[in-house]
Structure 1
């Protein structure tokens, strides 16, 4: 969408910078309130580098994309 090749359905939390800087625009509503989501993986793979990278990214998204439990 940023390259002018289409549209995207995105979480506002993930694209706030792009909207503010004009790289993306919101042509219409509605804006839907986000709901929590779950990152689920086998307990035995908790320390897998790929899973850890995804988990760290999700937890680090500005605006609190999710909360950590367990």
Structure 2
């Protein structure tokens, strides 16, 4: 019974609307992360990504602080 009330409240396109909205939000979040990476890599050419990745794969000696 509750499912019929939900379907009536959302309309026939309710689940489709929710899916499309979630997809648009996901793609916008992805663009907000990839866009700055491409800017630093192609426009600024400041090797920011290389500096960030270089520090993640090297184990630090015990008791030292990150740079």
The normalised TM-score by structure 2 is: 0.25
The normalised TM-score by structure 1 is: 0.24
Q: For the pair shown, which has the larger CA radius of gyration, 1 or 2?
A: 2
Q: Which has the higher contact order (CA 8 A, sep 6+)?
A: 1
Query: Is the helix fraction higher in 1 or 2?
Result: 2
